[in-house]
Amino acid sequence: MSELLMCPICREALHLDGKTWQCVNRHSYDQAKQGYVNLHVVQHKHSKNPGDTPEAVAARRRFLSSGTYQPLQQAVSELLHSISAKTLLDIGCGEGYYTQAMGGVVPQVVAVDIAKSAVQTAAKQAQQSNENNKAQNITWVVGTGAVLPVLDQSMDVCSSLFSPLPKAEMLRVLKKNGYLIIATPAPQHLFAMRDALFDEVNAHEPDKFVTQMSPEFSLISKQIITTDLNLDQQQLTDLIAMTPYAWKAKAEKRQALEAQQTFQLSASFCLFLLQKCVD
């Protein structure tokens, strides 16, 4: 496997020597026992514990492990199959549900998230499952989108699934004609849940992200993936906890919804494929 990681301090290539990543300037980063490396240096931190809370990470792991969002996971894998990528950077990988699937398609994957607890969970899960050694082709990194921890023009694909879109950094790390995969809520995503939590519900506007990426990226394809869900109480509670609605909704509305024994709703996603059209 070729070396893809970049030192966040001096931007030189990082090399793995035993359990330590090191650059030519002798900046070094130890690989944790769970198998990840922390490249989120203090110079780039704006808070002590950025990103999702451990509670939100645990809720997302439980919810996604039940297979509720499997249609989206499958659609992402099929999209990657169609472009025959060799290297991929998953931005905002979270606890790794989608990343693990992408690692089954792409030979080399770097997965980055700003939340240390999320990357710890993902790396530990990968170690435990390690099905057919697929997990070994994923490098798990704690890092920030402000300085993506990979070398210039080293990636065939960047993916951002419900995560930020650091445009300038993605342009830096993508190869010429590289691809960008974006997954974001479709207009009616989780409408029934949002309607129960808020007095007023606005439709999501997924196409704004395509506009945001223009003109440096051109749209290749757009898919809408919709799946009907019949959630039990635990799944419903976890779904709320893993979204921003957990802290945006009024406490009494959240409590009333979480008291439901079952809840039916539709999840609807937009999956975009864009291509870099500048050098």
3-state secondary structure of 62: helix
Sign of CA dihedral 61, 67, 71, 77: positive
7 is in an annotated binding site: yes
Give the position of tokens 């870099």. 276
Determine contact, residues 186/177, Cβ cutoff 8 Å: no
| Other beta carbons within 10 Å of 68 | 17
* Residue type at position 109: V
Measured CA to CA, the distance from residue 42 to residue 82 in angstroms comes to 39
Q: What is the CA angle 206-241-105, rounded to 5?
A: 55
Residue 186, CB-side half-sphere exposure with 13 Å CA sphere: 16
Determine contact, residues 87/107, Cβ cutoff 8 Å: yes
Q: What is the CA angle 209-215-217, rounded to 5?
A: 65
Determine contact, residues 140/125, Cβ cutoff 8 Å: no
Phi, psi dihedrals of residue 183, rounded to the nearest 5°:
-115, 130
23 is in an annotated binding site: yes
200 is in an annotated binding site: no
78 is in an annotated binding site: no
Structure tokens at 77: 């894998």
User: From the annotation, which residues make up the binding site?
Assistant: 7, 10, 23, 27, 69, 95-96, 189
User: From the annotation, which residues make up the binding site for S-adenosyl-L-methionine?
Assistant: 69, 95-96, 189
User: From the annotation, which residues make up the binding site for Zn(2+)?
Assistant: 7, 10, 23, 27
